[in-house]
Structure 1
Amino acid sequence: MNSEQTPQLTLRAVVLAIVLAMILSAANAYLGLFAGLTIATAIPAAVVSMGVLRLLGGGTILENNIVQTGASAGSSIAAGVIFTIPALIIMGYWQDFRYSWVLAIAGLGGLLGVLFSVPLRRTMIVEEPLPFPEGKAAAEVLKAGENPGPGIRILAFSAAVGGFLKLAAASGLKMIPDSWATAGFFANGKGLAYLGTNLSPALLGVGYIVGLNIGIVVLSGAVLSWHIAIPLYNALFLGSDPALAAQVAGASAVDTAFAIWSTKVRYLGVGAMLVGGVWTLFSLRKSLASGIRSGFAAARKAKGEAVAETDRDLPMKWMLIALVVFVIPLAVLYHAIVSSDASVSSPWAIGILMTIIMIVAGFLFVSVSAYLAGLVGSSNNPVSGITIATILFASVILVFLLGRDSPIGAVAAIMIGAVVCCAAAVGGDNLQDLKAGYIVGATPWKQQLMLAIGAFSCALIMAPVLNLLAAAYGIGAPTAEHPNPLAAPQAMLMASVAKGMFGGKLPWDMIAIGGAIGAAIIALDEWLKARGAKFRVPVLAAAIGIYLPLELMVPIFLGGLISHFVQKKHKVSDDDELEKDRIHRPGTLFSAGLITGEALMGIAIAVPIVVSGSAEVLALPEAWHFNQWIGLVVLAVVGWLLYRTGSKSRPHQELPVE
């Protein structure tokens, strides 16, 4: 295909990409705050693009590639923002999300992610190509040129299902509860057992997309917390913890389990994540250094030579100019943070040093993120571990400069980590999109420009979306006004780590035990790797399971189980990645629709709640409220629909060419 003559960066493609990016970023923001996970959006965006452009007279494969490139920024910007910025609310530094600051952090961080990832394209995609599984999958969708009609119908139907069930749930009409749970004491109150599951269809969809391996790992982490650590603490240590014992005196078994988890056991996950983040960097040290050297060597070699359109990146000179332009506002922002503490004698010097830390960490961790995205895909990219490492690194330096009791030290560390997190998420996503473009014959600089446009477009809406969600549901710890808030697990973790480094009190004994658990998980994973096992135990996935409530992990596991049954029905080998992608595509689209429909309805429901000031504004009379067993039946029906949609795919039939 001649990329010079085939339309790519057309006005309609750019506009459609921006619209999809904004919608998907809002949906992923809700999902990430709710469940601590985001999903890659390139394939659903590609299917929607093919359908919309066909209605507008037909689109080229390269136009559709541009749309999916820009739209995929929705998941990466949302992840970068919700993993870090809510920590400023949780720490009490902000009362709401400030528009200009969120825009600067997310927008400039995303643009830096694009710039930092450009030198890595040649070595990771062309010279020493990494798999980039989601990039390959998106390219196959684009190349097949399949009739987008069935795909759009699947997305629309499942989005309607997800949206309706979210409206019917406890935050809307209150017809169906949000979760099912049961717990009880035994052995004279020393024993404690808890079982529960969230009833969210979106979590089933997440599980289907991430697969059974990850589903087993996250559920195992939750079982470690809820079926081992919490009962042990209740039986052996609660009596020696007078504050917690007084808190749970007379409480139900469910409330006791959650109290032990929230104040003690969840910090096992913090320790495991800290160890996992450090291990990620250490294990990639050689590949990282090699990738950086090769990228710059290739850029110098190409200077002054005629370069094919399919190998043309953004010019290095303009990248360096853009880097300076983007960094200056961040330096001003960091100065504003430091100068808010009157005891700091040289706020400009410290602000500039913070900027340097951000640039160095940003470039290094964008490289790490790109490499990991190439190995395991963007959905499994441990950006949160990268961010933890950044915050720890920044905190160590800032403790030396500001002192451990600094009132703004933790905030400054979060601000550095937030920019790096956005950059790392976008950088990994950029390489994934460039892999798809490389396969279909696209022009790299046009994709890089489109991703930059998409990332900044998403940044424009992040603050309003977050403010709406915070006002309607609450974020972080439960309060009287919001007893069941959005958990924001990564942001809670970032706040805990930063506060712990600057005078805060953390249960370091539990964090240390969690670190030991993380080390044991790493050892197990390395042993499995050495044996060539297909099943792996990524430490950060296990840590998320330890850190989050059990009820969130159960439907993720069930979704992975459905994905496994679909694959078994079609008798597809785990080694055949292309065939796996083909047979899972209908189920993936159904899952993406469930997630998007539920998330967008969650945002829509927030509007009347915020306007009225009442969480009960949409609630139906109590006679219409069903018990949690009906909720289980509804979840089972959604699971059956997901399996039925996936099992009807025909992997061996050639798809029609567009």
Structure 2
Amino acid sequence: MRTLDVTYMGVEKSAYRQPITPQGLKAIEKGTLTWLDDDMYNNLNTGVLEQYLEEKNLEESFEVSHWNTGKVLYGIAIGAVFSGVTAYIGLKLGLAISAAWYIAYLLGMALKWSPSEVNIATSATTGATHASTGFIFTFPAIFLLASDARYELATGPLISNADTFNLAFVGIVASMFAGFLGIMYFIIFRRVWLVEDPLPLPGFEATLKMLDIASDVNTGAVEHARESLKTIGVWTGLTMVGLFLVEYPLIWVNDRKLALLDFLAETLAIGDYGLASFYSSGKIHQPSGIDADGISLGHTQWSESTSWNPFAYTYIGIALTPSMFAIGWFMKTRVAFLVNLGTLVGWFFLVPLVVWFNFPIYDAMSQSSVPIQSYASGDGAALQMIAFSKSVRTIAIGSIVGGGMFGLAKMYKTFLNIFTDIGSAFKGEGSQEYMEGKGWYEWPLKHIPIFMGVTFLSMLVIFTVGGFSILASLVFATVLIMTTFLLGAIAVRVMGETGIEPVSGTSFIVLLMLLGVFLNFQDLLDLNTQDAVLLGLVGTTVFGSAISMSGTVIG
């Protein structure tokens, strides 16, 4: 009979801890609870279950899980193909998600792989798709600063004649080393946030369900697997058809390419009223008005004559995006509400205040601050969008930085325990990494400082060869080593709480740190303004790739 310190686990306090069920406790005591059975699903986030499964893995995982290079290569190939999908969704939604893992699961089930083989292969798939995340959220800024008139200064574009091929090559090679370092770092946090203080991991149920189906197929329970796959297939098909109608440019008219729903919305118009006032570009939104051709204005316009309209001070809309609905479903009400608090505060409080009080907005072209309502001279303008992009977004960045720093301070005990564990590993104490007669259960903690050194030297060489000064490369390498660990810890914890890894949010912090150093010490670091900005953006790209890879360990 198995004995766990249940009393101790009951005393532990956590915002996400769930009570264990009597049936689950009985199965744990008898040692009959196993992966993917009903008692496992019913006792997630109890702490007792996670401790039990960790001990079970230590004893049995060497017989259950086996490395197969061919199957891992299948997973990597699928991830590489779908990395383009991830990039598209990331640029469109701000979230790096794709269906690559689902395709890998289907392939594994079709070939009747075991659940552990499917899981290993899909982990490789997820890693391959997430490797490009840093490029999704940061690297496009180089092109925008070089070519988009919205970001020009009075003297012209901030970036000109940049060697983007060289920068991309530097970013790709550096991301390889940084990504591996990210994985090494968060082997540490696997036990902290999956075993000792388990996080809710919204969306993890979907992964478990797919593994459950794979288990049914592998063990011969084909009928149950067929029903589950049928349900998934039906909803996948309906989603694809819906998105095809919402997004694909089927109608080409008057030099415009329109999705079918956009075309219908613009066609159904009478005078100044039309369906396009409430629907455009895949969004159901507040009444915005239409122009003479029935085309939606997109946002309610503010002018002196419409200043009475509350919709001119904010924006309310729902994007028809199944991925967002699915993530919200797995988050459940409490976590989804917390994630959306920033949206509520921003659009229902801060944005209206900026417009109402005619707050001064910095204008890059004139290099001066102008009252926001001056942008609406003439026929009016979408002042709420200007307020968001030029004022409220800056507040959000400050909140991210402040929240990140507070999060670091709040987690000091976790960091102290981790450093203690690493120190003990160097002394050969208190480690369960190596199982006598079986092999390594997980990567040795004492190897982490070694990889830190390898990554540090690699960054120094790569960025120096890429055309940046040695001292500037040294500064970046130092920042990368520290922030990948500290800010990455916050990012992975947030991912465990919400199902979304805040790559863009933590990247803001790193970008501000790098630009703050590079722009203020240009002479010392032998950088001009353009090189300082480029190094900051490429460096942030590498950081984003590193913490994205770390998220695959816990997710």
| TM-score scaled by length of structure 1 | 0.54
2:360–2:371 contact (8 Å) kept in structure 1: no
Instruction: Please give the secondary structure, in 2, of the residue aligned with 1:91.
Output: helix
User: Of residues 497, 501, 505 in structure 2, which corresponds to 1:376?
Assistant: 497
Retained in 1: the 8 A contact 2:134–2:540?
no
From 252, 258, 277, give the equivalent of 2:385.
258
**Offset at 1:266?**
3.0
SS at match of 1:169: helix
CA shift at 1:315, angstroms? 5.2
How many angstroms apart in 1 are the aligned matches of 2:84 and 2:372? 37
Map 1:623-638 onto structure 2 (within 5 A): none
| 14-23 vs 363-372, greater mean Cα deviation | 363-372
1:357 aligns with 2:479: yes
Aligned to 2:67: 9
- Among candidates 14, 17, 21, match of residue 79 of structure 2: 21
3-state SS of 1:197 partner: strand
- Could you tell me whether the CA contact under 8 Å between 2:171 and 2:541 is conserved in 1? no
**CA–CA distance in structure 1, aligned partners of residues 355 and 192 of structure 2:** 53
SS in structure 2 opposite 1:313?
coil
CA drift at 1:54: 3.8
1:289 aligns with 416
CA contact under 8 A between 2:89 and 2:98: conserved in structure 1? no
**SS at 1:59's partner residue?**
coil
Is the CA contact (8 Å cut-off) linking 1:292 and 1:367 kept in structure 2? no
- TM-superposed CA distance for 1:26, in Å, is 3.2
Uncovered stretches (5+) of structure 1, i.e. residues with no partner: 340-346, 433-658
Alpha-carbon distance change, 81 to 208 in structure 1, aligned in 2, over 3 angstroms: farther
Query: Displacement of 1:383 after TM fit?
Result: 3.7
Paired letter, 2:126: S
Q: Which has the higher helix share?
A: 1
1:427 to partner: Cα distance: 1.8
What residue in structure 2 maps to residue 133 of structure 1?
Answer: 201
User: Over residues 307-334 of structure 1, what are the superposed CA-to-partner deviations in whole Å (9 max), with x where a residue is unaligned?
Assistant: 4647523356876666555554432332
1:555 corresponds to: none
User: Residue 394 of structure 2 aligns with which residue?
Assistant: 267
1:86 Cα shift? Answer: 2.4
Take 2:552 and 2:516, find their aligned partners in 1: how far apart are those partners? 29
1:351 Cα offset (Å) = 1.6
Shift in CA distance, 29/158, structure 1 to aligned 2, threshold 3 Å: farther
SS where residue 530 of structure 2 aligns?
Answer: coil
- Structure 1 265/139 Cα, relative in aligned 2: closer, same or farther at 3 Å? closer
Deviations 1:208-263 (A, max 9, x none): 2333334434544334333433333333216997574443223456x333233333
Match of 2:107 in 1: 52
**Equivalents in 2 of 1:256, 1:331: separation in Å?**
45
Q: CA deviation at 1:9?
A: 1.8
The 3 A distance-change label for structure 1 pair 90 and 291 is farther
Query: What pairs up with 1:404-415 in 2 under 5 angstroms?
Result: 406-415=529-538
Q: Partner of 1:90 in structure 2? A: 144
Structure 1 Cα separation of the partners of residues 140 and 537 of structure 2: 10
Preserved contact between residue 408 and residue 486 of structure 2 (Cα < 8 Å): no
The 5 Å alignment of 1:28-427 reads 28-39=86-97, 45=101, 49=104, 51-56=106-111, 58-74=112-128, 76-92=130-146, 93=159, 99-121=168-190, 128=196, 130-131=198-199, 133=201, 137=205, 138=207, 142=211, 145-146=215-216, 147-169=224-246, 172-173=249-250, 174-177=259-262, 178=281, 179-181=283-285, 182-183=287-288, 188-194=305-311, 195-237=316-358, 242=370, 244-252=372-380, 255-298=382-425, 300-301=428-429, 302=431, 307=436, 309=438, 312-314=441-443, 326-336=455-465, 339=468, 347-373=469-495, 376=497, 379-399=499-519, 401-402=521-522, 406-427=529-550
Matches within 5 A, 1:505-654: none
> Which deviations, in whole Å up to 9, do the C-alpha atoms of 1:619-656 show, x marking residues without a partner?
xxxxxxxxxxxxxxxxxxxxxxxxxxxxxxxxxxxxxx
Q: Which moved more, 1:304-313 or 1:268-277?
A: 304-313
Q: Partner letter of residue 34 of structure 1?
A: K
Instruction: Kindly provide the CA deviation profile for residues 368-409 of structure 1, in whole angstroms up to 9, marking residues without a partner as x.
Output: 445555x526x2443444333333343444355326973322
TM-superposed deviation, 1:196: 3.0
Identity of aligned residues (%): 16
Equivalent residue letter for 1:382? P
Is contact 1:84-1:414 (8 Å) kept?
A: yes
Q: Report if the CA contact (8 A) 1:276-1:385 is conserved.
A: no
Judge conservation of contact 2:434–2:442 (CA < 8 Å) in 1.
no
More relative contact order, 1 or 2 (CA 8 Å, 6+ apart): 1
The one-letter code sitting in structure 2 at the alignment partner of 1:53 is G
Quote how far apart the aligned CAs of 1:121 are: 4.6
Please report how far the alpha carbon of residue 201 of structure 1 lies from its aligned counterpart in structure 2 after TM superposition: 3.5
Does structure 1 retain, via aligned residues, the 8 Å contact 2:492–2:554? yes
Between the aligned partners of 2:238 and 2:203, the Cα distance in structure 1 is 28
Q: Letter of the aligned partner of 1:335 in structure 2?
A: T
CA separation in 2, counterparts of 1:149 and 1:50?
Answer: 14
Q: Do the aligned partners of residues 135 and 202 (structure 1) sit closer, same or farther apart at CA in structure 2, a change above 3 Å counting?
A: closer
How many residues are aligned here?
417
Please tell me the root mean square deviation across aligned C-alpha atoms, in Å. 3.9
Partner in structure 1 of residue 52 of structure 2? none
What is the one-letter code of the residue matched to 2:460? Answer: A
For residue 72 of structure 1, give the secondary structure of its aligned residue in structure 2.
helix
1:429 and 2:552 correspond: yes
Q: Tell me the TM-score normalised to structure 2 length.
A: 0.63
- For residues 431 and 310 of structure 1, the distance between their equivalents in structure 2, rounded to whole angstroms, comes to 22
Alignment correspondent of 1:622: none
Gaps of 5+ in 2: 1-58, 147-158, 217-223, 251-258, 263-280, 289-299, 362-368
| Offset at residue 63 of structure 1 (A) | 0.6
Give the direction of change, closer, same or farther, for the CA distance of 1:355–1:221 in structure 2 (3 Å limit).
closer
For residue 66 of structure 1, report the CA deviation from its aligned partner: 0.7
The whole-number CA distance in structure 1 between the counterparts of 2:246 and 2:535 is: 39
Correspondence list, 1:451-466, <5 A:
none
**2:14 alignment partner in structure 1:** none
